[in-house]
């Protein structure tokens, strides 16, 4: 009952024309910046942080939060329409989203992404209301636990987009290896930099992702001589009730996955989106449809992404701990306004603390209302002939890669990644595991090394805690199941290949 | 006379790795092997703590093992292998020949696109956003989309100026070493 009273206080504080206008503006700005390749939520919020200096506290925090989830949806648009993920968390959505576009269901894919974002965000807000126990639990996780959980997420994702386990593992290891380039975070020693300054800060993973996915796609289409004509195959923009019914389970699972990933400090959004995709593929009665435009492959990751976006607020609001780069920027907005998030915020400024929670609900509704009618606008991009769309897209991608660090070296990184991506596609090596390990890699290494530094006995260190022991046990189970399934399918294929065609002599 | 190395006619032929796959696997073994050696040089263990080379050494060693497995194992047979897929295989071969013909033409476009990418890589910070984008996007529209230059270049230039102006208004600083926006009075 107290929670309801507090929430009403929050609503009374934010339901003013001025704050609502800032929320609408924030969602729109977020969506626009999110569409630009290279501009993920953290870049968009950082870019617009100076607004915190000129607005009053609640308005500035509500606006920056609205920019945050506006940009998360914005990143999905280019991923679905052109297979150009502006951020790594959109890669999972693009796997089936882009296939739906190729099939003439771009509008449907964007609409289900908007519905998924709304459902994930709304359900996660309920979690935020009863948040503090979850946040304290997540903070208690040890380095080994986070390492084991990251490894588990990785194992679930390997083999996502391809049929060969070896190729999936190679892709994952490639991402890990690329992640080690640059200065070592513990000792500051350069690794694989070859004495160049540009490599010292590591390879820009946004440029790599744009190259591996977007650029490789464009090069493959240009090289094949059969450039797809999206304009002839735009299809229906409306969702059918059956589509929503088919996606309800995915949205529910995506919410739970995203919500819990969001509680773990440092957990990348991409991990929750990929885990949701992997779970959907595994629980589906038709896993063969994944990678070929399964609507659940869009709904699940997108819901997880937004649920994570909302649950990211829990450690920040309850403990004052930012769990991601974007939350650290939001923490900056709090501090600029003389506020310190944490338990005291609820006691000293309840109207602001509850106002922010109420704004999550309001902005979520605003985003949903804005996103659905805009689907038609975004899809109209596909009406532009592909041979005009591709050069313009390449120009935008080059500028996007440049802007991430104001360095032309990142354009070069994008092009090298594009060529590597093209080669991997030709060799049928899945790219999704590499995308995930690129972001997970540094975190995996940091937790692995911290865990090793703490304990003398590696077995005790890694299997001592119930969380890590369970995660490692699950990894073994996943491996065993995958091994058995691969052997079985190989056996069945071999048997099938021996069956003669009717009427043919053997 | 029967070739002793070929399998009996009623046995499905297990496909081999393609030449591309074998080259890629060998390439990965060489590169990752070199990275492993280099990682060892960074130090696996320093002052009772894991050193900077430990993780890259583990990953590159894993990469070498995986690439070796990729090289020596055979792919799982596809449904089109063996007797059942003889017709399918023939059809696939015809499609592959057609694709190869188209790809030769497409390869020229790829080479042009890659060479043309040198413009933003080397010129963006030197001649600025407006000139680079006009040359880069305009050039591709002329050569790839086959649109007339007198139509493309003015449009690309105007759009580039407008984009630069819009970015400037929302606080995104695009390179403009010649202060073109100022010279244009916008």
Contact in structure between A60 and A339 (CB atoms under 8 Å)? no
3-state secondary structure of A268: coil
Task: Provide the b/e sequence for A127-141 (b: ≥16 CB within 10 Å).
Answer: bbeebeebbeebeeb
Contact in structure between A304 and A252 (CB atoms under 8 Å)? no
Average pLDDT over residues A53-60: 79
Chain A positions touching B146 (Cβ under 8 A) are 387
Chain B positions touching A393 (Cβ under 8 A) are none
A-B C-beta contacts closer than 8 Å: 187
Distance of CA A470 to the CA centre of its chain: 25
Per the model's pLDDT, the better-predicted residue between A189 and A45 turns out to be A189
3-state secondary structure of A24: helix
Per the model's pLDDT, the better-predicted residue between A391 and A146 turns out to be A391
Per the model's pLDDT, the better-predicted residue between A415 and B183 turns out to be A415
Contact in structure between A86 and A224 (CB atoms under 8 Å)? no
Report how far residue B153's alpha carbon sits from residue A182's, in angstroms, rounded to the nearest whole number. 40
**HEC-encoded secondary structure of A369-393:** HHHHHHHHHHHHHHHCCHHHHHHHH
Lowest mean pLDDT among A85-89, A371-375, A442-446: A85-89
- For A207-231, the pLDDT digits (tens) are 898 888 888 888 888 887 667 777 6
- For A312-363, the pLDDT digits (tens) are 888 788 777 777 777 877 887 787 778 878 777 777 888 888 888 888 888 8
What was the pLDDT predicted at B65? 96
Measure in Å the smallest separation between the Cα of A461 and chain B Cα atoms: 14
Per the model's pLDDT, the better-predicted residue between A347 and A199 turns out to be A199
Cross-chain Cβ contact B52/A186 below 8 Å: yes
Cross-chain Cβ contact A184/B84 below 8 Å: no
Give the Å distances, CA to CA, from A347 to A14, A191, A340, A351, B75.
18, 48, 11, 10, 63
Measure in Å the smallest separation between the Cα of A231 and chain B Cα atoms: 16
Q: Is the pLDDT of residue B33 over 60?
A: yes
3-state secondary structure of A448: helix
- What is the enclosing helix (H) or strand (E) of A126? helix A106-129
Q: How many C-beta atoms surround the C-beta of residue A150 within 10 A?
A: 24
Q: Is the pLDDT of residue B179 over 60?
A: yes
Q: Which of B48, B84, B102 sits opposite A497 (nearest CB)?
A: B84
pLDDT band at A134; cut points 50, 70, 90? low
Lowest mean pLDDT among A263-272, A373-382, A445-454, B160-169: A263-272
Q: Which of A189, A183, A152, A207 is nearest to A38 (CA)?
A: A207
What was the pLDDT predicted at B158? 94
Instruction: Please give the torsion angle defined by the CA atoms of residues A46, A266, A167 and A40, in that order, rounded to the nearest 10 degrees.
Output: -10
Which of A38-47, A387-396, A479-488: highest mean pLDDT?
A: A387-396
Measure in Å the smallest separation between the Cα of A125 and chain B Cα atoms: 31
Lowest mean pLDDT among A57-61, A201-205, B7-11: B7-11
Q: Is the pLDDT of residue B9 over 60?
A: no
Q: Which of A189, A388, A426 sits opposite B141 (nearest CB)?
A: A388
Q: Is the pLDDT of residue B120 over 90?
A: yes
* ipTM > 0.95 (yes/no): no
Q: Which of B62, B140, B170 sits opposite A394 (nearest CB)?
A: B140
Strand partners, A191: A182
Contact in structure between A75 and A204 (CB atoms under 8 Å)? no
3-state secondary structure of B80: coil
Report how far residue A178's alpha carbon sits from residue A192's, in angstroms, rounded to the nearest whole number. 9
What are the boundaries of each domain within chain B?
117-183
pLDDT band at A160; cut points 50, 70, 90? low
Average pLDDT over residues A95-118: 90
Give the Å distances, CA to CA, from A82 to A57, A229, A351, B121.
38, 12, 43, 23
Average pLDDT over residues B65-70: 94
Measure in Å the smallest separation between the Cα of B81 and chain A Cα atoms: 6
What was the pLDDT predicted at B100? 66
Angle ∠(A49,A50,A53) on CA atoms, nearest 5 = 115
Chain B positions touching A453 (Cβ under 8 A) are 48-50
Contact in structure between A315 and A138 (CB atoms under 8 Å)? yes
Pairing of strands B49-50, B45-46: antiparallel
- What is the enclosing helix (H) or strand (E) of B46? strand B45-46
Instruction: Give yes or no for B30 touching A (CB within 8 A).
Output: no
3-state secondary structure of A190: strand
Distance of CA A33 to the CA centre of its chain: 16
Please give the backbone phi and psi of residue A89, each rounded to the nearest 5 degrees, phi first: -65, -15
Contact in structure between A108 and A241 (CB atoms under 8 Å)? no
Q: Which of A219, A183, A322 is nearest to A262 (CA)?
A: A322
Report how far residue A66's alpha carbon sits from residue A51's, in angstroms, rounded to the nearest whole number. 13
Contact in structure between A255 and A304 (CB atoms under 8 Å)? yes
Q: Which of A440, A454, A450 is nearest to A186 (CA)?
A: A450
Interface of B with A in 59-88 (CB under 8 A): 59-60, 62-63, 66-67, 69-70, 73, 75-79, 81-85, 87
Q: Which of A369, A440, A293, A316 is nearest to A73 (CA)?
A: A369
Q: Is the pLDDT of residue B67 over 70?
A: yes
- For A245-277, the pLDDT digits (tens) are 999 999 999 999 999 888 876 677 788 888 899
Measured between CA atoms, the residue of chain A closest to residue B40 is A191
Strand partners, A205: none
Measure in Å the smallest separation between the Cα of B176 and chain A Cα atoms: 12
What are the boundaries of each domain within chain A?
2-454
Measured between CA atoms, the residue of chain B closest to residue A172 is B63
DSSP letter for each residue of A425-441: HHTT--SHHHHHHHHHH
């Amino acid at each position: 009952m107290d929670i309801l009273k507090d929430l009403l206080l929050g609503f009374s504080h934010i339901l003013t024309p001025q704050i609502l206008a800032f929320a609408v503006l924030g969602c729109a700005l977020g969506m626009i910046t999110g569409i630009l390749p290279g501009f993920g939520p953290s870049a968009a919020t950082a870019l617009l942080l100076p607004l915190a200096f000129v607005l009053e506290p609640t308005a500035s925090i509500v606006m920056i939060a609205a920019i945050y989830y506006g940009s998360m949806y914005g990143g999905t648009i280019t991923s679905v329409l052109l297979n150009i993920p502006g951020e790594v968390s959109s890669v999972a959505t693009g796997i089936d989203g882009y296939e739906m576009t190729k099939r003439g269901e771009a509008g449907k894919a964007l609409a289900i992404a908007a519905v998924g974002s709304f459902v994930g965000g709304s359900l996660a807000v309920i979690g935020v209301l009863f948040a503090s126990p979850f946040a304290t639990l997540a903070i208690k996780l040890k380095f080994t636990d986070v390492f084991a959980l990251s490894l588990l997420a990785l194992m679930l994702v390997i083999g996502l987009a391809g049929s060969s386990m070896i190729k999936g593992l190679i892709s994952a290891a490639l991402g890990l290896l690329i992640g080690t380039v640059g200065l070592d975070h513990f000792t500051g020693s350069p690794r694989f930099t070859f004495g160049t300054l540009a490599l010292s800060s590591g390879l820009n993973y946004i440029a790599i992702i744009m190259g591996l996915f977007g650029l490789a796609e464009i090069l493959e289409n240009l090289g094949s001589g059969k450039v797809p004509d999206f304009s002839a195959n735009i299809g229906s923009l409306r969702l059918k009730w059956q589509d929503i019914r088919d996606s309800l389970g995915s949205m529910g699972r995506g919410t739970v996955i995203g919500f819990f990933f969001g509680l773990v400090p440092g957990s990348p959004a991409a991990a929750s989106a990929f885990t949701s995709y992997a779970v959907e593929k595994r629980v589906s009665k038709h896993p063969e449809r994944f990678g070929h435009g399964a609507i659940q492959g869009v709904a699940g990751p997108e819901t997880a992404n937004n649920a994570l976006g909302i649950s990211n607020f829990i450690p920040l609001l309850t403990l004052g701990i930012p769990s991601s780069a974007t939350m650290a920027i939001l923490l900056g907005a709090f501090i600029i306004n003389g506020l310190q998030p944490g338990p005291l915020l609820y006691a000293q400024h309840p109207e602001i603390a509850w106002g922010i929670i109420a704004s999550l609900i309001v902005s979520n509704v605003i985003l949903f209302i804005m996103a659905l009618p805009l689907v038609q606008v975004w899809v109209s991009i596909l009406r532009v002939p592909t041979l005009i769309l591709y050069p313009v897209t390449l120009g935008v991608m080059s500028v996007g890669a440049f802007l991430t660090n104001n360095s032309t070296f990142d354009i070069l990184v994008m092009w090298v990644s594009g060529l590597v991506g093209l080669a991997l596609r030709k060799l049928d090596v899945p790219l999704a595991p590499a995308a995930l390990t690129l972001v997970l890699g540094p975190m995996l290494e940091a937790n692995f090394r911290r865990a090793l530094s703490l304990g003398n006995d590696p077995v005790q260190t890694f299997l001592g805690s119930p969380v890590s022991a369970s995660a490692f046990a699950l990894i073994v189970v996943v491996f065993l199941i995958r091994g058995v399934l691969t052997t079985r399918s190989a056996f069945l294929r071999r048997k099938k290949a021996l069956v003669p065609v009717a009427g043919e002599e053997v | 006379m029967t070739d002793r190395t070929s399998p009996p006619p009623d046995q499905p032929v297990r496909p081999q790795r393609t030449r591309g796959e074998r080259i890629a696997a060998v390439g990965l073994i060489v590169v990752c092997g070199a990275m492993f050696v280099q990682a060892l040089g960074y130090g696996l263990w320093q002052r009772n703590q894991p050193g900077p080379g430990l993780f890259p050494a583990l990953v590159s060693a894993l990469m070498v093992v995986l690439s070796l497995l990729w090289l020596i194992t055979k792919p799982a047979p596809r449904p089109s292998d063996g007797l059942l897929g003889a017709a399918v295989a023939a059809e696939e071969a015809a499609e592959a020949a057609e694709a190869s013909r188209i790809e030769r033409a497409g390869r020229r476009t790829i080479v042009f696109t890659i060479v043309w990418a040198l413009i933003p890589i080397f010129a963006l910070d030197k001649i600025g956003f407006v000139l680079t984008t006009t040359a880069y996007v305009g050039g591709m529209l002329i050569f790839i989309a086959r649109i007339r230059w007198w139509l493309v270049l003015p449009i690309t230039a105007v759009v580039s100026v407008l984009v630069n102006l819009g970015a400037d208004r929302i606080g995104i600083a695009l390179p403009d070493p010649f202060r073109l926006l100022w010279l244009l009075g916008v």
